[in-house]
């Protein structure tokens, strides 16, 4: 046998672009932004190098979560049109590479966070990664329609981590930021799951529209938007932020509730007629960016 | 060299370059972390 044949790997080495795709860069951008907002909203700032490293660690941790999620759900992803072209279901990568990449990124991010920032922030980062992988991906997602409700906690950690990086303490404002994302997650994901519900049904994932029906999901979206709006304006009402954030939160949240009301009023069952759901989903992403931008602007302009 | 071998070599080369860049960036980052930590503890 020629020497080259003996050293040839069983599968092609993964393309670096596919490794990057495993980290779900678009999801990561929202995570990084909310973490950065939590850091910049804090009353004191860490040195630039440490702040930058902490945000990098949040990004790497989120990337590790994305890779581990895709490793665990490769078979499910193959059944859904939206995810079938991902590197693992498409057969472009060896599953073990994805597992090693995900574990490596996660462990590295926690250790670097502990060394560069503080170990409380590292512990929170570790908790969010473990919660996302084991509680959400492995335990809740394939079992219950409440997967997003409880699993949403994993995505709510970044602003809290950002704040703890800066201050070393857990305080009321970052806990409220945690609550905002926690309550924002169900309407955000349920709006998406309404117009891709056939995908979830095909994969056997018990998302709310699949298990409880479209009408019930629309009602839940509207009901969740109310405490979410209350949580969004709470930092201002409690005197933890200034009027720039307060006015922005009130306006942005009002629009969110109106769009959720339009979803509630919609009776369409064909995804092509779900304009209200698509609007709410797109707006929900803008909402979180806008709210946290207002938080940082309020901290730096008004205070 | 077959087409598959070429793909393997190209991917290995690309990944090696990216790894070198990342390790270089990490070394620079560690330098700045160290400087910042010394500044805090001074």
The mean pLDDT of chain B is 91
Q: Which tens digits make up the pLDDT trace of A207-262?
A: 899 899 999 999 999 999 999 999 999 999 999 999 999 999 999 999 999 999 99
- Is the pLDDT confidence value at A292 over 70? yes
Percentage of chain A with pLDDT > 90? 80
CB contact set of A147 (below 8 Å; sequence gap of 6+) = A136, A140, A141, A206, A207
d(CA A90, CA A77): 9
Q: What pTM value is reported for the model?
A: 0.90
Which of A47, A117, A168 has the most B C-beta neighbours within 10 Å, making it the best mutation to test the interface with B? Answer: A47
Residue with tokens 């979803």: A263
Contact B8 A48 (CB under 8 A): no
Chain B residues with CB under 8 Å of A46 CB are: 36
Q: Which tens digits make up the pLDDT trace of A8-48?
A: 555 778 889 999 999 999 889 989 999 999 999 999 999 99
ipTM value, please give it. 0.88
- Tell the CATH topology of A12-168: Tetracycline Repressor; domain 2 (1.10.357)
Where are the domains positioned within chain A?
12-168, 171-303
Which of A12, A46, A52 faces B8 most closely, judged by CB atoms?
A: A12
d(CA A5, CA A164): 53
- Is the pLDDT confidence value at A62 over 80? yes
């Amino acid at each position: 046998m020629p020497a080259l044949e003996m050293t040839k790997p069983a599968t092609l080495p993964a393309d670096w672009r596919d490794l990057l795709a495993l980290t779900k860069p678009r999801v990561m951008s929202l995570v990084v932004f909310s973490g950065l907002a939590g850091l910049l909203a804090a009353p004191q700032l860490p040195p630039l190098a440490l702040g930058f490293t902490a945000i990098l660690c949040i990004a790497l941790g989120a990337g590790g979560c994305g890779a581990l999620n895709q490793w665990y759900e490769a078979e499910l992803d193959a059944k859904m049109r939206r995810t079938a072209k991902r590197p693992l279901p498409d057969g472009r990568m060896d599953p073990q590479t994805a597992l090693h990449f995900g574990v490596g990124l996660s462990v590295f991010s926690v250790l670097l966070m502990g060394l560069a920032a503080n170990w409380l922030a590292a512990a929170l980062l570790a908790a969010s990664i473990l919660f996302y992988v084991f509680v959400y991906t492995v335990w809740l997602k394939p079992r219950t329609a409440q997967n997003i409700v409880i699993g949403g906690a994993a995505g709510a950690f970044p602003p809290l981590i950002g704040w703890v990086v800066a201050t070393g303490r857990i305080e009321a404002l970052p806990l409220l930021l945690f609550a905002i994302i926690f309550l924002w997650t169900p309407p955000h994901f349920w709006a998406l799951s309404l117009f891709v519900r056939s995908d979830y049904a095909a994969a056997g994932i018990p998302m709310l529209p699949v298990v409880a029906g479209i009408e019930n999901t629309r009602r839940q979206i509207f009901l969740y938007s109310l405490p979410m709006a209350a949580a969004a304006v709470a930092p201002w009402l409690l005197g933890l932020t200034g009027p720039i954030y307060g006015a922005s939160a009130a306006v942005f949240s009002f629009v969110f509730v109106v769009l959720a009301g339009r979803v509630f009023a919609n009776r369409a069952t064909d995804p092509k007629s779900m304009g209200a759901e698509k609007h709410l989903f797109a707006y929900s992403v803008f909402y979180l960016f806008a709210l946290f931008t207002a938080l940082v602007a309020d901290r730096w302009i008004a205070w | 060299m077959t087409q598959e071998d070429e793909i393997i070599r190209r991917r290995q080369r690309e990944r090696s370059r990216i790894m070198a860049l990342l390790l270089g960036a990490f070394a620079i980052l560690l330098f700045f972390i160290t400087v910042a930590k010394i500044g805090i503890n001074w």
